[in-house]
Structure 1
Amino acid sequence: MNTPSVELADQVARAARYLRPHIQRSALEGKRELPTPCADFDVHRLSEHLLGSLVAGARAAAKEPLPADAPTTLTEPPWVVFPPLLDSLAAAWAEPGAWKGEALFAGSVRPASFAGTITIMELTVHGWDLATAAGRTFTTDDDVIATATAVAAQIAEGARARGIFGPEAEPAPDAAPLERLLALTGRKSL
């Protein structure tokens, strides 16, 4: 993928913006134990996974290691915890050097651009997961979906082997780009 870093930084910011309605109190209050399309995760566990992704993504952009005391559990509701983290994440990926060089991400050194596009995918796919669990409609921009799909295709085989993605579903011939991304990650509606 040869998308310029300025465009990718904008995609991170927009992916974060499209996630926001689905982490608000009105979307999630009283839904902590609802199942999500993300296998084995209820809304609370998925929110904690997303917490880790937000923190790790911002640290990767800043080229900083994840501290041993990085938060892994939610001690307050997502609608309290996530907004400042989303702001920090978008700001970190907007820095000029964020997309260059290497970053420590998911326990190994990776190209920074890989960590950034994984972040876009995480926000997009898990945004859909939360929206679906809450009975809401998720939308995002086509270029964000294209970036998320490209990185999902790149990691799909390994992600399936580790149980991160489910078996690939067959999208309908007329499936929208978001539906194709979700099928690639093994997502099915509830």
Structure 2
Amino acid sequence: MNSLELLQRADRRLIDLTGVLGGDDLDLASPCSAWNVRSLLSHTVASIDAFAAALDGGAGPTEQELFSGVDILGTDPLAVVERSVERSQRAWATVTDWQQSVATVLGEMPAEQAIGIITYSTLVHSWDLAVAVGRPVEFDEAEAELAEAVGTQLVPPLRQQELFGTEVETGAAATPTQRVVAFAGRNPL
């Protein structure tokens, strides 16, 4: 499975989960301790827009806006998520050289690394959203493999900036999904 297909699947899960949200669900606590569902989903959409902007040259959030959790969902979160995902999918579909450098909000990097980061972000935050609304999800083998590979590179430096919590200990019987989210500082159990 290629990187674009993994991103498309992660985006589809995010849309499906957003589609089941009721009005009160946006106020629920999320596994990201400082954020409720609304701020978590706002951050997720801002991340998608930030990486799309690196490719399409359109507007995107600053690093400060990206990590603020400020509400960008308005009264129709599903429409906002769908618009953001559609923009992202259009932008990523234009990539023909996965080694081309792109200027992301996190710095210059090859397109292949950038799509891995946004896929990781969407996977982990979809898990957060699913847990918050009582609809837990499991990553398949390809998703877990990508998330483990990207997470080991991305999370440690961001943990120093307090953007990820301390890794949660899991037992030997932990599923791949549990290992991924535990490394990202979430309690998977």
Bucket of the pairwise TM-score, normalised by the shorter protein? 0.7 to 0.9
Structure 2: unaligned runs, 5 residues or longer: none
**Match for residue 146 of structure 1?**
145
Distance 1:28 1:129 in 2: 16
Identify which of 17, 42, 45 aligns with 2:36: 42
Letter of the 1:101 partner, please give it.
Answer: Q
Distance 1:7 1:61 in 2: 18
Relative contact order, CA 8 A, sep 6+: which one is greater? 1
Where in structure 2 are the equivalents of 1:49-68 lying within 5 Å? 49-62=43-56, 64=57, 66-67=59-60
**Match for residue 78 of structure 1?**
77
Percent identical: 28
- Cα gap change, 1:65/1:100 in structure 2, threshold over 3 Å: closer, same or farther? farther
1:171 aligns with 2:174: no
Where in structure 2 are the equivalents of 1:1-190 lying within 5 Å? 7-24=2-19, 26-62=20-56, 64=57, 66-67=59-60, 73-97=72-96, 99-189=98-188
- Cα RMSD after superposing both structures: 2.4
Structure 2 counterpart SS, 1:122 = helix
Q: What TM-score do the two structures reach when normalised by structure 1?
A: 0.85
Structure 1: unaligned runs, 5 residues or longer: 1-5
The count of aligned residue pairs is: 183
Moved over 6 A (4+): 68-72
Q: What TM-score do the two structures reach when normalised by structure 2?
A: 0.86
- Per-residue deviation, residues 56-105 of structure 1 (Å, max 9, x unmatched): 1212243x264579996222332121112212222322323363311121
